[in-house]
Amino acid sequence: MEKMYCFYCDKEVVGNLRVENTKYTIQGKDVYVDDHVFTCPNCKTEYNFDSVDEGLYKVYDAYLNLYGLSFKKLKEIRESLNLSQELFATVLGWSKKTITRYENAESLPQKEYLDTYINLTRDKNYIYYILKNNNSLTKKEYYKILDKINVDIDYKSINVVLYILNNGKLNRTQLMKHLFGVDFESYKLNNVTISSFRYANAPFGPIVNNQDTLINFLIKNDYISVESSKDDTFMLFVPSQKADLSCFNDDEILIMNKVVNKFKNKSAKELSNWSHGFKGWIDTKNGEIISFEYAKYLEI
Ligand SMILES: [Zn+2]
């Protein structure tokens, strides 16, 4: 039982609430929310018991739900990237006020803002894409943000990197070609990759898409460290620990060993030249993702 002031009876009355599923149309989309309806026991007048704020919140939240989002999630997305409202705003080129308003459910994101959140939900690495394409950032801001951003790389993929490096220190180009070789060879043989990385076309051959993210993550979390090569021309990646072999089945170990053995003592230039003959690299443009469908053309 709830108390409410009835304007027709001009007094406070006590009555029951009932839940009514009501349709609202927001930005052209239909959403359904449960409204609480209060009926005056004397005159039977019906009132929406929810406050205007509560009502709007529910309707907007239901709209966000259509896209796998919610007001709560908008905040979680930012927090999971380890960015303050200020830095998040800087990366996106939005005002801080905009972000505050969204996270406090004071307004509904317009479609273009919503799209950014949707893309970030689908792939957290999308933040690096935005970061890279934001030309208004100073170098200092760029690196400050890059250093802050927190994206998890899955455990098995980390261990692929460790496994390769346990067989010898590599420079960046060499490591990228090893990872590329491992995943495309695995896909060629078994229709599935070993790591969860995707690969993109770069001038020196295929690289892990968002390679900076990966390297940044591995160094920050102390999986690898960097040292200078003897002649000082390259930075070499050094594993800080042994790979956890329980991540892999025998087949995967065989594939990784094959690649490591074939690539042993090959310079960055040699590996780069070899990868330039790969149809998947030839057919794609700089920055484009190379589909695993090309794996059938790989010759290691
Ligand atoms: Zn009444």
One digit per residue, the tens of pLDDT, for the chain of length 300 reads 899 999 999 999 999 899 999 999 998 999 999 999 999 999 999 998 888 888 889 999 999 999 999 999 999 999 988 899 999 999 999 999 999 999 999 999 988 999 999 988 877 668 877 887 888 998 888 878 877 887 778 899 999 999 999 999 999 999 999 999 999 999 999 999 999 899 999 999 999 988 888 998 898 888 999 988 777 677 899 999 999 999 999 999 999 999 999 999 999 999 999 999 999 999 999 999 999 999 999 999
The residue out of 148, 175, 208 marking a domain boundary is 148
Residue 297's closest CA among 194, 164, 180, 212?
Answer: 180
The residue out of 91, 122, 148 marking a domain boundary is 148
Pinpoint the alpha helices (H) of the chain. 52-65, 71-80, 85-92, 96-103, 111-122, 126-133, 139-148, 155-166, 172-190, 211-220, 250-263, 268-275, 279-282
- Judge whether 123 and 213 are in contact, CB under 8 Å: no
Query: Does residue 57 lie in a domain region?
Result: no
Residue 65 Cα to ligand 1 midpoint, Å, equals 36
- Judge whether 128 and 213 are in contact, CB under 8 Å: yes
Measured on CA atoms in the order 226, 228, 230, 231, is the torsion positive or negative? positive
Residues 6+ apart with CB under 8 A from 271: 173, 174, 177, 205, 263
Residue 19 Cα to ligand 1 midpoint, Å, equals 19
Residue 39 Cα to ligand 1 midpoint, Å, equals 8
Residue 23 Cα to ligand 1 midpoint, Å, equals 26
Query: Does residue 63 lie in a domain region?
Result: no
Residue 16 Cα to ligand 1 midpoint, Å, equals 13
Query: Does residue 56 lie in a domain region?
Result: no
Residue 15 Cα to ligand 1 midpoint, Å, equals 10
261 and 280 share one domain: yes
116 and 200 share one domain: no
Q: How far apart are the first and last CA of the chain?
A: 75
Helix (H), strand (E) at residue 24:
strand 17-26
Residue 5 Cα to ligand 1 midpoint, Å, equals 8
How many other β-carbons are positioned within 10 Å of the β-carbon of residue 224?
Answer: 21
Residue 217 Cα to ligand 1 midpoint, Å, equals 64
Q: Residue 9 belongs to what domain range?
A: 2-50
83 and 113 share one domain: yes
Query: Does residue 61 lie in a domain region?
Result: no
